[in-house]
């Protein structure tokens, strides 16, 4: 399908007049309609708005004045993001159906750059868990196998990309919510450095553990999108920009990277196919002459800190809901909040001190390596509509997510790369982590891997 071509190829054809943004947008919308029912990937699609934007883009290309690399490129955003004129339901029956009065900064940047916003993608209620379903809006399903979850909380983004509707979709990640669905759905997912993509107005309930990030099928397309939406904003006091030093480091030769393979003892309980996925990436890097060595970082306890911060936020979400509306909430979210109880200030400061200690350890590690390699999650996708795999030992979804939350609290960029080791019937996610503001380095390493371990679209992309 014409809309599934790379951004670079679409630009080439737009420039020559061989295709138009209107053609491409219609193709993407038609495919979105085909896969919407089986996947439940979309909270809303707005063909009129999308086609109007595509017509404006077409005029710019015809006059030789495109706004940039994303002009005329179809994209979607996760339901949490405010888009002027669309409701911001956050997948909850407790929220308003009124249209948002203004767009989140990164959404405004996308539209100003000429990107064609097709609609919003599904998420669990208030983005609270690592799968995608909610009492009011149903179950989102994995394009590789509709009986399985795509992961969450950016599961609608992942489903839209894996099903071949868009090449890039913007989600959010406060405890793995970009990387988990990327792993389960066989695509790329980047949790950037905290603040690299501004979130105001309407910031996340998860405060400074929440990161806006892209999911995609091509690292190159994601780099182009990140260059549009990334960078500090005067309206967001937490926002940051890529430094000249980080940009230069990100452009340095891949062959010079020092790769730290997390001590396998820390992920020895991962499923054999997941261990095989990490081994495949490690072997690929070694075969090309890159230097790998085993390193130690207490990722599990750092993730416990991330989990505790996350669960405090969940409790705060529930406290903010009127008592009369709490029966409308996901019961498991309420259970999570009740388990947290009333926060204790001394316990909170102790939690911050633990985070500081893990942050210092990670900073010291990145003095000796450039990239840390480990699994994204220890399992592959499981049954849709469940918070944990059938027969799992613990009802808390964090029990199957011990590797991603660490880097939310520590603000380091982390990327999930999809692989299919021998014998795999589902994709496996391999996580790459770097020091703060090394996002470009991770995406360039992913682009390098793409030439050696190609990324696949799901069969739904061809329907």
Q: Tell me whether strands 138-139 and 168-173 are parallel, antiparallel or unpaired.
A: unpaired
Rounded distance, CA 355 to CA 308, Å? Answer: 11
Instruction: Concatenate the DSSP letters of all residues of 376-429 into one string.
Output: S-SS---BTT-SS-TT-S-SSGGGG--SSTHHHHTT--EEEEEE--TT-SS-EE
Q: What is the pLDDT of residue 204?
A: 76
Cα separation of 124 and 126, whole Å? 6
Q: What is the DSSP string of 131-177?
A: S-EETTTEE--BTTBTTB---SSSHHHHHHHHTTS-SEEEEEESSST
Among residues 78, 129, 191, 436, the one annotated as catalytic is: 78
Residue 458 is predicted with a pLDDT of 98
What pLDDT does residue 202 have?
Answer: 66
Q: Determine whether 438 is an active site residue.
A: no
Residue from 92, 103, 134, 153 carrying the catalytic annotation: 153
- Ordered by where they begin, the domains of the chain are 2-462 (3.90.1300.10)
pLDDT at 203: 65
Pair of tokens at residue 259: 């790769």
The pLDDT score that the predictor gives to residue 245 is 85
Quote the tokens at residue 328: 């409308």
| CA–CA separation, 123 and 91 (whole Å) | 6
Buried b / exposed e over 292-314, threshold 16 CB at 10 Å, is beebebebeebbbbbbbbbbbbb
Radius of gyration for the alpha carbons in the chain, expressed in angstroms and rounded: 21
Number of alpha carbons in the 13 Å side-chain half-sphere of residue 309? 28
The confidence score (pLDDT) of residue 429 equals 99
- From the candidates 27, 103, 169, 177, which is the catalytic residue? 177
- Low-confidence stretches of the chain (pLDDT < 70) are 202-203
Whether residue 129 lies in the annotated active site? no
**78 among known catalytic residues:** yes
**Dist. CA 414–CA 190, nearest whole Å:** 6
Cα(398)–Cα(401) distance, rounded to whole angstroms? 5
- Specify the 3-state DSSP secondary structure of 337: helix
Tell me the per-residue pLDDT of 93-152, one tens digit each, with 9 for 90 and over.
999 999 999 999 999 999 999 999 999 999 999 999 999 999 999 999 999 999 999 999
């Amino acid at each position: 399908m014409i809309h599934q071509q790379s951004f670079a190829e679409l630009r080439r054809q737009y420039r020559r007049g061989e295709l138009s943004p209107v053609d491409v947008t219609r193709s993407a919308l038609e495919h979105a309609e085909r896969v919407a029912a089986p996947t439940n990937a979309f909270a809303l699609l707005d063909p009129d708005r999308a086609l109007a934007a595509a017509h404006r883009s077409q005029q710019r290309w015809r006059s030789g004045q495109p706004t940039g690399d994303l002009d005329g490129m179809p994209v979607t955003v996760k339901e949490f993001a405010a888009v002027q004129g669309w409701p911001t339901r956050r997948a909850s029956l407790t929220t308003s159906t009124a249209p948002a009065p203004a767009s989140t900064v990164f959404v405004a940047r996308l539209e100003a750059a000429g990107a064609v916003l097709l609609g919003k993608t599904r998420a669990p209620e208030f983005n609270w868990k690592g799968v995608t379903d909610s009492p009011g809006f149903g179950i989102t399903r994995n394009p590789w196998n509709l009986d399985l979850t795509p992961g969450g909380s950016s599961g609608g983004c992942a489903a839209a990309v894996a099903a071949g509707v868009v090449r890039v979709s913007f989600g959010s990640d406060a405890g793995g919510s970009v990387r988990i669905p990327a792993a389960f759905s066989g695509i790329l997912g980047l949790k950037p450095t905290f603040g690299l993509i501004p979130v105001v107005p309407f910031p996340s309930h998860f405060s400074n553990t929440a990161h806006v990030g892209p999911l995609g099928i091509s690292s190159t397309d994601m780099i182009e999108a990140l260059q549009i939406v990334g960078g500090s904003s005067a309206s967001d006091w937490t926002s940051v920009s890529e430094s000249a030093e980080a940009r230069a480091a990100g452009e340095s030769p891949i062959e010079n990277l020092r790769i730290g393979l997390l001590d396998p003892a820390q992920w020895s309980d991962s499923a054999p196919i997941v261990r095989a996925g990490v081994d495949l990436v490690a072997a690929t890097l070694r075969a090309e002459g890159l230097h790998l060595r085993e390193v130690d970082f207490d990722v599990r306890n750092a993730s416990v800190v991330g989990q505790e911060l996350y669960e405090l936020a969940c409790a705060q979400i529930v406290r903010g809901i009127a008592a009369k509306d709490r029966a409308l909430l996901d019961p498991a979210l309420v259970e999570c909040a009740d388990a947290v109880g009333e926060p204790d200030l001394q316990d909170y400061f102790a939690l911050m001190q633990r985070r500081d200690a893990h942050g210092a350890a990670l900073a010291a590690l990145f003095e000796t390596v450039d990239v840390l390699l480990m699994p994204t999650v220890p399992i592959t996708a499981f049954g849709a509509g469940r918070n944990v795999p059938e027969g799992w030992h613990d009802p808390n979804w964090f029990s199957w997510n011990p590797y991603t939350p660490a880097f939310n609290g520590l603000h380091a960029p982390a990327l999930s790369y999809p692989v299919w080791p021998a014998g795999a019937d589902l994709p496996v996610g391999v996580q790459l982590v770097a020091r703060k503001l090394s996002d470009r380095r991770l995406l360039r390493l992913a682009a390098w891997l793409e030439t050696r371990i190609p990324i696949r679209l799901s069969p739904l992309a061809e329907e």
